[in-house]
């Protein structure tokens, strides 16, 4: 292998005797295609110097394996974990038949005394760390965008589907209502009777817009009782008329007054017309509410991304928090969100969309820590010349021994493939470097709180 190692940059400047010394203490390995030499999440083994062939570096990001780099002949891998004493942040395997020189961890530490090797290894490590972090950050952003897009699509689908159902039912409901109006005209109602019936309709429509809360059993009992009363008046299909009338708060005593005013022979036409009006109003209400919800979601997206605004703005942090919570609604289905906002919190000069990235990462971590269900606290207050945003959860907490490391690049407490270890690193960068702020952690079992301090004016 000595001839192959002479072309390795790591050994440039070393004599043949020194290379032979490496060969003596190192171990020559023959790799087949697909063979794995480094496993993501595993403890550091040693340094692998590639003499012939090719190695692929990959990492699990958002559940899928992503290629980070291809190692060509004359390079080496494994030095980052050896120097940082952290588990490997990526997996390395051969893409073809390859030959490597393996230097165990203890021999690697001894070899650092040779200055040419030390310099090259540290320079290469710095370059790889920057390149790897940039690649993973890009994937982290795309992954976050994908999650938000999927959640937004789900949130938009529900009101859009409700809109579609209502629009499809509305034409037939209007045709039926038109026929019912013609029948009422044939009854030759007096102007007083028409005014009474119109007022009766307005009352039911008003109550239907703000219905009385009812559990399913109570609703069923009331519908059954009203359907029985309608049948007793000689009106057919009482079971069909009862649900809309009950939803509008009507009962038999109220309908008795209608019967006495219009007479038994006109009651059926009046009830059928009222049910038709309530059905149409219900469909229109569905369309209005669904469209309003869609507009709110679109507004939240614009607020979240600060679309059509300059990079630095006077930011209302409460608006940013609310748009983030709306965007993340798909993850908060089983989470109780408790807001405690300072009513007089001033606006700050900041990068609005970047701050929303901070809130997204902190809230996402909190929800994950609680296993998707629990209590999320979102608080704000002013402290001297800064505002403070606190994101808290009632999850298991962060062990004291790792609290000092949570902002380190690639350090994660999540299972391999679920976390990249860059979420809090990104938060730290945005808060400390971009906004000259501060971030503090208070954690114990049952309570974890991240406090973000942001100056009112940029430093």
Is the same domain home to 6 and 76?
yes
Residue 348: beta bridge partners? 315
Is the same domain home to 284 and 164?
yes
Is the same domain home to 25 and 50?
yes
5 or 155, greater pLDDT: 155
pLDDT tens by residue, 265-292: 888 888 888 888 888 888 888 888 888 8
State what percent of residues in the chain have pLDDT above 90. Answer: 15
User: For 421-426, which contacts have Cβ atoms below 8 Å and span 24 or more sequence positions?
Assistant: 421/89, 422/133, 422/136, 422/137, 422/140, 423/140, 423/361, 423/364, 423/365, 424/361, 424/365, 425/133, 426/137, 426/140, 426/357, 426/361
pLDDT tens by residue, 153-173: 767 777 888 888 888 888 888
Is the same domain home to 290 and 318?
no
Is the same domain home to 155 and 102?
no
Q: Containing domain of residue 316, as a range?
A: 312-455
The dihedral over CA atoms of 296, 301, 302, 303, expressed in degrees to the nearest 10, equals: 80
Q: Is residue 60 part of a domain?
A: yes
Q: Is residue 378 part of a domain?
A: yes
Is the same domain home to 241 and 337?
no
Question: What pLDDT is recorded for position 417?
Answer: 39
Is pLDDT of 18 > 90? no
Q: Is residue 343 part of a domain?
A: yes
Pairing of strands 374-383, 335-340: parallel
Average pLDDT along the chain:
80
Please tell me the distance from the alpha carbon of residue 415 to that of residue 61, in angstroms, as a whole number: 11
- What CATH number does residue 78 fall under? 2.60.120.10
Q: Is residue 132 part of a domain?
A: no
Q: Is residue 277 part of a domain?
A: yes
Least confident of 58-62, 306-310, 371-375: 306-310
Please tell me the distance from the alpha carbon of residue 286 to that of residue 435, in angstroms, as a whole number: 44
The last residue of one of the domains, among 297, 324, 343, is 297
Q: How many domains does the chain have?
A: 3
Question: What pLDDT is recorded for position 452?
Answer: 94
Is the same domain home to 288 and 329?
no
Q: Is residue 369 part of a domain?
A: yes
Residue 338: beta bridge partners? 377
pLDDT tens by residue, 23-78: 676 788 899 999 999 988 888 888 888 888 899 988 876 567 778 788 888 788 88
Q: Is residue 124 part of a domain?
A: no
Is the same domain home to 104 and 206?
no
Is pLDDT of 420 > 50? no
Among 61-65, 72-76, 193-197, 339-343, the range of highest mean pLDDT: 339-343
Q: How many CB atoms lie within 10 A of CB 103?
A: 24
Question: What pLDDT is recorded for position 345?
Answer: 92
Is the same domain home to 414 and 320?
yes
Under 8 Å between Cβ of 360 and 367: no
414 or 34, greater pLDDT: 34
Question: What pLDDT is recorded for position 415?
Answer: 46
Is pLDDT of 315 > 50? yes
- What CATH number does residue 324 fall under? 3.30.565.10
pLDDT tens by residue, 92-143: 999 999 988 888 877 766 665 554 555 555 556 556 656 665 565 566 555 5
pLDDT tens by residue, 317-333: 998 898 888 878 878 88
Show the tokens assigned to 375. Answer: 């209590």
Please tell me the distance from the alpha carbon of residue 43 to that of residue 87, in angstroms, as a whole number: 5
Q: How many CB atoms lie within 10 A of CB 210?
A: 7
Is the same domain home to 283 and 316?
no
Please tell me the distance from the alpha carbon of residue 333 to that of residue 330, in angstroms, as a whole number: 6
Q: Is residue 354 part of a domain?
A: yes
Q: How many CB atoms lie within 10 A of CB 312?
A: 13
- CA 232 distance to own-chain centroid: 55
Backbone angles phi, psi at 337, to 5 degrees: -95, 120
Show the tokens assigned to 188. Answer: 């030759």
The last residue of one of the domains, among 88, 113, 138, is 113
Is the same domain home to 190 and 319?
no
pLDDT tens by residue, 217-256: 888 988 898 888 888 888 887 888 888 888 888 888 888 8
Is the same domain home to 187 and 89?
no
pLDDT band at 149 (very low <50, low <70, confident <90, very high): low
């Amino acid at each position: 292998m000595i001839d192959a190692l002479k072309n390795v940059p790591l050994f440039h400047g070393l004599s043949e005797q020194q290379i032979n010394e490496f060969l003596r203490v190192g171990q020559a390995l023959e790799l087949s295609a697909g063979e794995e030499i480094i496993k993501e999440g595993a403890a550091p083994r040693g340094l692998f110097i590639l003499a012939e062939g090719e190695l692929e570096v990959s990492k699990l990001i958002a559940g899928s394996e992503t290629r980070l780099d291809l190692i060509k002949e004359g390079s080496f891998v494994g030095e980052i974990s050896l120097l940082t004493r952290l588990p490997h942040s990526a997996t390395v395997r051969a893409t073809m038949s390859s030959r490597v020189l393996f230097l165990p961890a203890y021999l690697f530490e001894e070899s650092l005394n040779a200055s040419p090797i030390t310099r090259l290894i540290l320079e290469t490590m710095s370059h790889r760390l920057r390149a790897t972090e940039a690649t993973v950050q890009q994937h982290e952003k795309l992954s976050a965008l994908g999650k938000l897009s999927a959640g937004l699509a789900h949130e938009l689908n529900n009101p859009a589907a409700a809109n579609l159902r209502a629009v499809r039912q509305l034409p037939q409901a209007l045709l039926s209502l038109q026929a019912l109006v013609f029948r009422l005209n044939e009854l030759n109602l007096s102007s007083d009777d028409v005014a009474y019936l119109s007022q009766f309709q307005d009352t039911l429509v008003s109550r239907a817009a703000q219905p009385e809360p009812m559990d399913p059993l109570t609703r069923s009992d009331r519908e059954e009782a009203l359907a029985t009363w309608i049948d007793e008046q000689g009106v057919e299909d009482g079971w069909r008329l009862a649900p809309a009338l009950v939803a509008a708060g009507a009962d038999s005593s109220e309908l008795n007054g209608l019967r006495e005013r219009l007479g038994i022979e006109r009651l059926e036409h009046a009830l059928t017309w009222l049910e038709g009006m309530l059905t149409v109003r219900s469909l229109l209400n569905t369309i209005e509410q669904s469209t309003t919800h869609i507009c709110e979601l679109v507004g939240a997206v614009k607020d979240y991304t600060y679309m059509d605004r300059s990079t630095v703005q006077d930011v209302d942090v409460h608006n940013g928090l609310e748009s983030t919570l709306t965007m993340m609604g798909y993850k908060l289905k089983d989470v109780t969100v408790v807001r405690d906002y300072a009513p007089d919190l001033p606006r700050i000069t900041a990068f609005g969309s970047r701050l929303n990235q901070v809130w997204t990462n902190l809230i996402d971590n909190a929800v994950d820590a609680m296993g998707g269900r629990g209590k999320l606290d979102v608080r704000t207050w002013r402290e001297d010349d800064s505002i403070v945003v606190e994101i808290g959860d009632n999850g298991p907490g962060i062990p004291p021994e790792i609290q000092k490391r949570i902002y380190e690049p690639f350090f994660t407490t999540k299972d391999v493939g679920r976390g990249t270890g860059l979420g809090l690193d990104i938060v730290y960068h945005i808060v400390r470097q971009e906004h000259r702020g501060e971030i503090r952690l208070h954690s114990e079992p049952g309570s974890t709180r991240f406090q973000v301090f942001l100056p009112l004016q940029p430093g």
